[in-house]
Amino acid sequence: MSVSISTLSSPIRLALVAAIVVGVHAGASAADDEAGINAALLYHNYCSVCHGDRGDGNSRAKNSLIPPPKDFTAGPLPRDYMIAIVADGKPGTAMVGWKTQLNGNEVAAVVDYVIETFMTGKAAFEAKPPGVSGTSAHGGREKDGSEVQGASAGATPSGPTGLDMSLPFPDGLVGDPVAGKAFYMGNCATCHGEKGDGKGPRAYFINPVPRDFLLDGSRLVYNRPALFKAIAKGSLGTEMPAWEKVLTAQQIADVGEFVFRQFIRQEASTATSAR
């Protein structure tokens, strides 16, 4: 026996319609699960409130966040670095780690969505500005960031993400880690900490907090050229000064060499040679 919905009372009609809607939604969700992860939906639910629907950081929350949200349209970043940030968060910012909410596949999917949608896709892997170099196992393509350049096809990758950690300082400079340690402990450790963990005595009064060199996110992007640039130019919006105003290029290389060996690569030989 068939019954017309129009002949039912209003409460029953509403309940029936609601049941139909729920059933359709459940079917769509199941279809989505079978088809794969909906990265666009993940971005909308977890990222857009800060980074904006267009990935440019132009959200309603941006004026309340210091530093402001990352503008993905400003330039490419290394994929592995982005995955580490999405999973673990970024100290000193409002960026929290989502690994308790998203599994590894979902984190990777939302990162790839950001790259393909806001960072012009392949350019996020193949752009080659001066800085750090590396190759990616992701689709066999090179990946780069604003501080990253692509390595040659035959280069042997090293370091946690395949970045070329053997690149030298600019202009043929060779840093002295012993001299660099003396300067670091006398000037940098007050913020970055003697262990390079960003927990120096002044760190608790600084916002955003000083760089923690021991984080995977730091080790993904800081080889010698990147350290030299960061030390020399400083960082806008933070208390990190541009040391090129008071140090020579050689002194900057010395500090960079100490940080690179002691914290980024944690070479045991550094501690021995420094002693």
265 pLDDT more than 60:
yes
Nearest to residue 145, comparing CAs of 121, 168, 128, 122? 128
Distance CA 159, CA 133 (A): 11
170-274 belongs to CATH 1.10.760.10: yes
Mean pLDDT, all residues of the chain: 73
| Maximal C-alpha separation, the chain | 92
CATH topology agreement for domains 9-125+134-161 and 170-274: yes
**Mean pLDDT for the stretch of residues 200-204:** 89
How does residue 141 score in pLDDT terms, banded at 50, 70 and 90? very low
The ranges assigned to domains in the chain are 9-125+134-161, 170-274
**pLDDT for 250:** 97
What does the pLDDT average to over 30-39? 58
Give phi and psi for 163, each to the nearest 5.
-65, 145
Share of the chain above pLDDT 90, in %: 28
The third-level CATH classification (topology) of the domain covering 9-125+134-161 is Cytochrome Bc1 Complex; Chain D, domain 2 (1.10.760)
**pLDDT confidence band for 148 (50 / 70 / 90):** very low
Label residue 37 by pLDDT band (50, 70, 90).
Answer: confident
The answer to whether residue 116 scores a pLDDT higher than 80 is: yes
Q: Is the peptide bond before 241 cis (omega within 30 degrees of 0)?
A: no
Task: Give residue 163's pLDDT.
Answer: 63
**Are 252 and 243 in contact, with CB atoms under 8 Å apart?**
yes
Give the mean pLDDT of 55-60: 83
Q: For residues 153 and 30, which has the higher predicted lDDT (pLDDT)? A: 30
DSSP one-letter code for 89: B
pLDDT tens digit string along 152-164? 333 333 334 446 7
pLDDT at 262 over 90: yes
pLDDT at 5 over 80: no
Per-residue pLDDT, 50? 87
